[in-house]
Amino acid sequence: MAKVVVIDYGIGNLLSVTRAFSAVGADVELSNAHNAIRDADRLVLPGVGAFGDGMRGLQQRGLVEPIRDFATRSRPFLGICLGMQLMLDESEEFGHHEGLGLVAGKVAKVPATGIDGQPVKIPHIGWNALHTAGRNNWDAPILKDVPEGSACYFVHSYMAVPSEPQSLLACCDYAGLQITATLGQGMLYGCQFHPEKSGKVGLKILENFTRL
């Protein structure tokens, strides 16, 4: 059985995330112990709320370096919603904040208007379909057996903008805007949407993660 450590740093849908992993057969541990994070087989960083609050929660618990250390060891890592955004270098949300720097890029505000110039609703809330972000095929292991066009549940006002195009695995369309839905770099993955709230599609993505 896959062992998954979910990081408890005071922010996130911890119960929903742990229940979802249990539903796909994972052995789940909720922890903020440094050794548990460094030695995990698979590590998950959930999160809801503001970027600055998330980084403070990690810093106050001394978790930044254990997470960075884990990320250098070629083991599966998954950031969910705010957790994905924290993987990047920096964010402009309510000022400038340094991120974990696991994936090159920044976090920017979702534009207030669509490509037609009309206002869009912020935050972006609700179900939206996943697309290949200009790739010729749907080849990311975390998206295995997830049909393109599958819908997942989003709640966010800011979005990840990875520096390297190959880090963008899937996107969604919001009023003609391309929003990063899934990113990946090596064994590091992130989902802007909430897989734990995305029904069978979300559970399949979590199952794929446990099999990496």
Sorting pLDDT into bands at 50, 70 and 90, what band is 10? confident
Grade residue 11 by pLDDT with cuts at 50, 70 and 90.
confident
pTM of the model as a whole: 0.96
Domain count, the chain: 1
Residues facing residue 156 across a β-bridge:
124
The 10s digit of each residue's pLDDT in 77-88 is 999 999 999 999
Task: Name the band, by pLDDT with cuts 50, 70 and 90, for residue 137.
Answer: low
Average pLDDT over residues 102-130: 94
**What is the reported pLDDT for 117?**
87
Instruction: Tell me the residue range of the domain where 149 lies.
Output: 3-210
Average pLDDT over residues 144-168: 95
Q: Residue 139: which residues within 8 A CB-CB, separation 6 or more?
A: none
User: Is 130:182 a contact under the CB 8 Å cutoff?
Assistant: yes
Per residue in 153-163, pLDDT (tens digit) is 999 999 999 99
Whichever domain contains 54, its CATH number is 3.40.50.880
Catalytic site positions: 81, 194, 196
